[in-house]
């Protein structure tokens, strides 16, 4: 009985997180693998989430947590991308100036 409640609770947490992510446009399918190094404390936290059966793996936990954080800042990232575009135009212009200077 206790085990069943534990399973229901962990599935509820995961379902709520996945539901929130899906309403933010996050695709539950994961794409490219990304390698990272984490300290022991973070690994322990991830392992706790896996042991509670909230996530199937560390990888699934990390992907969900990152998606939640980044999609929560979606507007800020749109602004950052616009600023990066401006920087790239300036860099291209600077490269043209250097190329013209070297031709002279």
- Which phi-psi region, left, alpha or beta, contains residue 4 (left: φ > 0; alpha: ψ -120 to 50)? alpha
**How far apart are alpha carbons 22 and 15 in whole angstroms?**
10
pTM of the complete model beyond 0.85: no
For residue 96, which phi and psi values (nearest 5 degrees)?
-65, -40
**pLDDT confidence of 93, banded at 50, 70, 90?**
very high
How many domains would you assign to the chain? 1
For the chain, percent of residues with pLDDT exceeding 90: 52
| Domain encompassing residue 96 | 2-28+35-103
Largest Cα separation within the chain, whole Å, is 83
**pLDDT confidence of 38, banded at 50, 70, 90?**
very high
Residue corresponding to tokens 């693998």? 33
Say if residue 74 is exposed, middle or buried (CB neighbours under 10 Å; 0-12, 13-18, 19+).
exposed
């Amino acid at each position: 009985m206790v085990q069943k409640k534990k399973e229901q609770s962990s599935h509820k947490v995961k379902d709520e997180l996945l539901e929130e992510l899906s309403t933010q446009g996050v695709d539950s399918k994961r794409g490219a693998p990304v390698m990272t190094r984490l300290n022991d404390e973070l690994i322990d936290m991830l392992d706790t989430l896996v042991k509670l059966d909230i996530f199937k793996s560390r990888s699934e936990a990390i992907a969900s947590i990152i998606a939640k954080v980044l999609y929560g800042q979606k507007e800020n990232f749109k602004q950052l991308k616009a600023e990066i575009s401006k920087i790239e135009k300036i860099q291209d212009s600077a490269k043209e100036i250097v190329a013209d200077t070297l031709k002279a």
